Amino acid sequence: MSTTNLNVESNEVITMPPGTKIFSENDNKEIGKVTFPERKSKGLLSPFVEAYYNAESDTLSINIVAYVDLDRRNEVFQYDIFQNCYTDLEGHPQLQFFIAYNMPEQEACTFSVHELKFNANRYAFIGDFSKVRTIQTFLWDVDPVASRGTVTTVQSGG
């Protein structure tokens, strides 16, 4: 379940994603730019995600390439990562990750490219990492409410 708050200073509604915050970054530097000259949408671009399970260390590592429209007001990419666990219809625990950030929605053709790397938190998961076959990963703009996601197959990493 997501949480909605009112930021009194800016009079904006902030909606945080469901789950437990497992990571924060205050200054993620861009690694490049990508341009889509014909794009006329305010929507978010889906992240590119790879996930690896390492049996030796029992870790699930996630590597993400995110495409973010940084305007003059926000010259750095600041975000929090939330991990959410739920049980699917077949009774299996599933993992979701939300990259939550706050950027103004505007039409954009050029996006900064950012690399995010982190490990899933075993204490915020009710199952066994070795049994996770797919994860869901979303970019989540906390104001206004918008998200864009992808499903990724977990690969064996060791």
Average confidence (pLDDT) over 56-71:
90
In a domain, 1, yes or no: no
In a domain, 64, yes or no: yes
Radius of gyration of the chain (CA): 16
Q: Which residue segment(s) compose the domain that 148 sits in?
A: 20-156
State how beta strands 59-68 and 48-54 pair: antiparallel
Average confidence (pLDDT) over 54-75:
85
For 112-124, how does the pLDDT look when each residue is reduced to its tens digit (9 = 90+)?
899 999 999 999 9
More confident residue, 93 or 49: 49
In a domain, 2, yes or no: no
More confident residue, 145 or 22: 22
In a domain, 122, yes or no: yes
Q: Would the pLDDT of 11 be above 90?
A: no
Q: Would the pLDDT of 132 be above 60?
A: yes
In a domain, 120, yes or no: yes
Share of the chain above pLDDT 90, in %: 42
In a domain, 7, yes or no: no
In a domain, 34, yes or no: yes
Average confidence (pLDDT) over 49-59:
96
For 77-145, strand residue ranges (E) read: 77-87, 93-101, 110-119, 134-141
For 65-100, how does the pLDDT look when each residue is reduced to its tens digit (9 = 90+)?
998 887 655 567 889 999 999 888 888 889 999 999
Contact predicate 116/97, CB 8 Å? no
Q: How many other C-beta atoms can be found within 10 angstroms of the C-beta atom of residue 127?
A: 14
In a domain, 100, yes or no: yes
Look at the chain and report how many structural domains it folds into. Answer: 1
